[in-house]
Structures are given as C-alpha cells and as structure tokens.
Structure 1
Amino acid sequence: MAFALRPLPRRLLRSIHCSNPLSTSTSASPHDVHELLRIQRILNPATTTHSPQNQEHPRATTDLHDLLHRTAGLTAAEATSFLRGIPNTDRLGRLLRELRGLRLHGDEIKNALESDPDGLLSMDPGEPSRLVELLDGLRCRGAVKDRVLSHGVLWAAIAARQRVELLHAHGLNRRDALRVLSVEPRAILYDLEDVERKLEFLVNRMGFEIGWLVEYPEFLGVNLDRWIIPRHNVLEYLASVGGLGDPIEMKHYVRFSRQQFYNMFVKPYPECERIFGGLVRERKNEVRRWHPVGLWKLFKPTKHESTEEDVKNMKFVVESLH
C-alpha cells in the first residue's frame, strides 16, 4: 500500500488521511485510493497513459489508408495527403465501404475524391447506393443516358445530388426532386448556375410555383434562352394587349412544339413574329426538297449492252408467242 501511495501528490495523501481520522497511512481503504486515482486521471489526462481510443487511432488511420488503396487506388502518399483535409474520418470510412460494395471502377472513385471531395463526403449513408440505382434505371433516350453517364455513374450521382439539394433549397422536397430528375435526366447535363437561373425565372418572371416541376419536369430539360424566354416574351406581349383569352399554363411552354406554339400564338399576330424570332415563317417559304440531291441516280436502271446471242433469244421468245 505504501508503494501504491508513493506517486500521489501530498494533497491526495492528506485527503486519504482525513477521510478516516482513526486510520493510518497503511490502513487506507482501497476503494478511496482507486477513486482518487480516477479523479487524478480525469483532471490531469496528460500525466496518465493514453486511452484505448487514442491507442486505436493509428490502427484506424492504417485501415483508412488500406481502404483508400483498395477502393480508389490511392498510394500511401496520396492517401496521407488526402486524409489531412478530412475532419470526419469515420464518415469517410463508411462511405468508402459502401462505394466498394457498389463495385464501381477505381478510377471513378479516385476522380471523384480529387475533383469534388466535399460533394462526395456530404452524402449520407445509403445515399450513393440509391442514386446509383436511380441512374442505372433511367428510362430515357439512349443518347441522353450516355451523355449523363459519360463521366461515370459516380460523377452523375454527385451531380444529381447537387441538383436535388438545389431544388430542395427552392422549396421542393427531396422525394419530389428525385422524381423530377428521374423523369427529366437532362437537368443533370446543365450546370448548376443554369438550373438555378431556370428556377428563378420560373418563380420570379413566369409567376409559377416550384411545385409545377413535378407535373412538368421538362422545364428543366429545355434551353432557357432559345425555348422558354421567346415564348414568355410573346405571351407577355399578348397579355399586355388583351390577346389572351384563356389562362396560360405550363404546357404552353414545354409541351407545345415550336410549330404548335407558332400556329396558336404567333401566326394570328404578325407583330409577334419579331418577338418570337421569325424562323418558322421563313422556313415555310422555302422550297423543301423531298429527296436528297442526286438520289434519282439510284433509281436509274442499269444499261447493259445487247449481244448477238441476246438478240437471237429475244427473237425466239417473240416468235414463240405468235
């Protein structure tokens, strides 16, 4: 017992003696000694041994290095440099294990970690799997899907999440935002600035609520300058002169083809031709070629030279008919 009390400070020894006046230094309760040692460890952690959590920290770092190497193909130096800027390594470990389970190509994960680490690390657990499943099951034209997945499915998943968060920031819940992207994946091809510009134009200039995107997601997939703004300018002019009888709906902006919109709103009002662009009327005056130039040569029969034997055969056939 004297050996156990030797490293304790004098004030702790004094408290031991005062806790029981009838006891001596050799008769102190073991429970009191352990309690004082526990208090000393709490108050002076630097003078005590490292906790088990601190002892496991190098092992956790080694596991992350190995996980980064197996999942993203990073070298030891690259992994060390990358981990210096990551405050939450636990979140990174869970994310890497989930990405490894998706069987993605190592270059995709490495490029995502290098180009947009914040966008990748901001995903919640299970979110990459849901987004990858959504992108794999896109029902759209093959050319659009190829463009969306041209940089890899992980890049597309990060871009889709950024647009979901942008739609959510403008008042649309995340479930409806995912539904909009699944129906109109062309929104992923536009920059975030272009998508935000469309949303601001929809709400501030056109006067529609953000919830209309659930019914008309095509609005995010068309060009704002060449498709939406000319139509809005025509409708805005007609509304100012009293030329609109029925209320304008979103379908007039996104569901009508250029020819349909022209016939309904531009053709009856010649002054709207300049506002709309005048391209439809000019094209109608042109003579449209029904076949490509030189196609008639393909229908011209091939000319064969007649030999004496062919002439005799033809005469024989004609004589046999009489």
Structure 2
Amino acid sequence: MVAVYALFTHAFPSSSSDSLFSFPPSPQPTAYFAPPSLSTFRNHEWFSLLKFTRTPRADPKPLLTQVGLRPNQRILIQCRCINSATNALAEMGMLFSFFQEIGIDGEEAQVVLDKNPALTSTSLDLLRTRILSFRSVGVDGLELSRLITKCPSLLTADEIDAFLHFVRHDFEGKIEPPQLKRLFGTTEARFLVGFDQKVRLLLHRGVPREKIFDVLNKLNLYKALCLKSVEEIERTIAFLSRFGGIDLIVRRPTLLNYDLDTQLVPRVGFLTELSGGDEDATGTLLGKLPAILSYTVDHTKGHVELLRSLAGLTDEQIFKFLLVFPNVVSASRERKLRPRIHFLKQCGYSSNDIYKFLIKAPLFLGLSFEDNLAYKLAFLVKIGYKYRTKDMAAAMGSATRTSCDNLQKVIGLFLSYGLSCGDIVIMSTKHPQILQYSHSAIEKKMEYLINEIGREVGELLNFPAFLGYKLDDRIKARYELRKKVLGEGMSLNKLLTVSSERFSTKKPAYVVENENLNEEMEVLSDK
C-alpha cells in the first residue's frame, strides 16, 4: 500500500499529502513519447471519479463522509483510484510509445485517439499484429503512419483482417502497395466485405489467373469492386459479352469503373447506332480500342457531327473510318480535325476524296502540327510541291506514315544519286509511297538496280514503284529466274507487277518454242 501510494504521489506531485484527489498536473515530457493531453484521460473511469471528488486544497474526508462511507471503505476507494490511475497512465504510456514506433508523434497520436476512442481499449498485441499485416502487403513507413492518422479505424476495424489475409495469401501480395494505399485512404472498412467474392467472380467469368493481378492494379478498386454488388458486376460482364466479353475487361480493366446503366450502355448504344445496328461491327471497333468507351456520348457525338457536317461523310463512312482509326475521338476537334479538313478541301478534295484520303492516311488527323506535320510540309514545299494542290495532299498523306528524320534522309538519298528535286516530285506524284519507305531499304534497292541489274537511276522516273517491292523475295528472285531467258533488257515493270500466280505459270519463250518444235517432229515422225 505504501509503495502504491508513493508511485501515485510521484506521478501526481502535490503540495499536500491530503490532495490525493486533486487534479493531476501534466507529466513531464520524456525522450520516448510525447505527453498525452488532458482530453486523453477524459474517457477513463478513474478520471470521472477524480473529477467528481476534486476539491483542490481541501480535505476529501468530509465529502466521503457525506456519501455515507465508513473509514475502511474510504481507504478502499482511495486504493482503487490509485491503482486505476496508475494502470491507466502506464497503458497510455505504452500506447503513445506504440504510436511513436510507427512514426506518429504526440499531437498526431492525440488526434488519432480523438477520432477512434476504441484504441484505448484495444490490446497492444492486436495493434502490433495489425501493423505487421499492413507491412506484409507492402504498406509501411511514412505512408502507413499517414493512413492511420487519416483513418484510425484501420487499426481496429474487423473487416481489415479478412481483406489483408486475402491479399497476402490468395494473391501472394501481388496487388501493388500504391493501389492498396489508395484503397485504404478512400474506402470505409465495411465496403471491403465481399471483396474476395467479387475477385473470384472475375476469375470464374474468364479473367486468366496470370492477368488478374494486372486487372486489379489498374482498377479503381473502390469504384469497380467495393461500391458495386456482385450482381452489378455480373450484369456488366454479361452486357459486355455481346461485344467482346471478358477480353475487353482484360485489355481495358477500367471499364469496370463505369456505371453500367448511365455510362456503358449509352456509349455502346451510340456506336451501335452509328454502325447501323451491327453489334458484330461494334464489337470489332471496341476490340480495336476498348478505351473508346472512356469518352462520353456527347464527346464522341461531337467528333461524329464534325466529320458529318464539315467533311461531308456519311454515318457508314464515319464508322468505317473509326474502324481504321478509332483514336480520332481523342484528337482535338478545334486544333486538329477542323483545320486539317479545311486544308483538304482547299486542296480540291471532295467529300469522297476526303474519305479515301483519311482511310489511307488516318494519322493526318492525329499527328502534332508543330512537331510533325509542319516539318514535312516544309520539306515538300522545298522540293517543289505547290501549296494547296491534290498532289501535295497526297504527298502529305504518305508522309504521315514516316518520321521527319526518315523523310529528310529519303530526300537526301535521292539527291545524292543525282536526282533533282523535280525528279523527286515526279516520282512521288506517280507513287507517293516512296516518301514513306525506309531510307536504308531504298538505298539497297537502288544499289541492286545500278550494280546488279545494270540500269540507270533515271529508270525510277518511269517506274518508281520498283522501290516498293521486297528486295530478296521479289526483285532478286524474279530477276535471277528470268535473266537467262529474257536477258538484261527485260522490262522491270512487267517483271515485278505480274501476279505471283501468273508468274509461276507463265512459260519462258524458249520453252514455248521447244514445245512447238517437238510437236512438229512428232507429226513428221508419224507420217
């Protein structure tokens, strides 16, 4: 009893031994944890008793006598108060020390306790086990202390244990820590219930096991799984199965973030209507770019309306163009689509010409003008193309399929072989694709033309398409096969343009002559 009394008086020093029930001053700060503030103790039963019996600098005995307590009972109450206060102080000290260990200082710890008073009655062993569970899935250090400060219920909510166990054991901890941090920072623990069931649904509906980690790491887990019921997720998968099914989700997991009735159904419906009601064609479009469903109906409709009104394209043509270049919906209508369609119209293109141009050169609507198209346009004007002509538009369309660096090297290569800028314009007007071929491939073909076939580079002016055929599989193979029969003066155009089937069945002239001669000999011998 004397030892307990001494401990209590040491913890709460007073000017008088009779002031045991006076309010205790704040303890001095130590090197281990920040001191708890007054509000820390307000929830303890011993504090309520101290507060009730607090009579500074007064003898507590008259007050205890008034409530009808005998002397031995008064001593027992005093002892119990001392023991409770001492134990509570020790427990609070250990709790604040625990917070200090995980990076939460005294003031932050006080905030945490104010937000989640249940922590004061939670076993330290349970709290440490919960911290180890967080660390086992990669949530640790400063991020963990911030999460706990923001959401103190993470330390006491029963739902957390089941979720962490699922992530750690069933998924081998392969959900990325940043994804888990975002989830813990935005989701109430009650929404984690059933998370494992929803993930198993995705596996059951066809998401490959090796892909499920990638899917979960790209989702907004709160929107896609926590806020939605199993039935809602099932309905979404069933709807998308008409247009590509689970493969769309594997390729674009964020589709699960969207609401089925207010987002996915209207967006798919608009594309289906544009296709003329062809769900298979719509599925083909979604398969090429599942991300097209991330754009609102109003956004996509604005692009369609511009192509319809300014370019004069029909809905059928617009949908076919979307199949070729679905990323057009990401291009700015005012900065890219409108001025470039105006350019084609200024070059003399009709609506049908614009459609054919866009099908062949869809990137014309998507490339940056300042970093790409402007340089290519300057190259073409410099070698002699007239501005705002169909030939220039065709050359620009071909140039969109190559880099600025390669285009410059191609033009420089032609010039190095003695061709003039005018010659380049003539060749590229006949066969615009020469502007997009790899300069290294062109150089090999020109070397073979000059050194092996023995022709002049000027022959390219008449047959620039020579540069478009494969060197080994077409040019060399056919030339070597026909060289002995036709000689070196054979027509390159006829040699390369005839189809493979016709080329393989066409007999050389000397074979035909021999066959005719043999037939005549057989007739004479019969006679």
The structure whose Rg is larger is 2
Report the TM-score, using the length of structure 1 for normalisation. 0.47
**Larger helix fraction of residues:** 2
Q: Larger relative CO (CA 8 A, sep 6+): 1 or 2?
A: 1
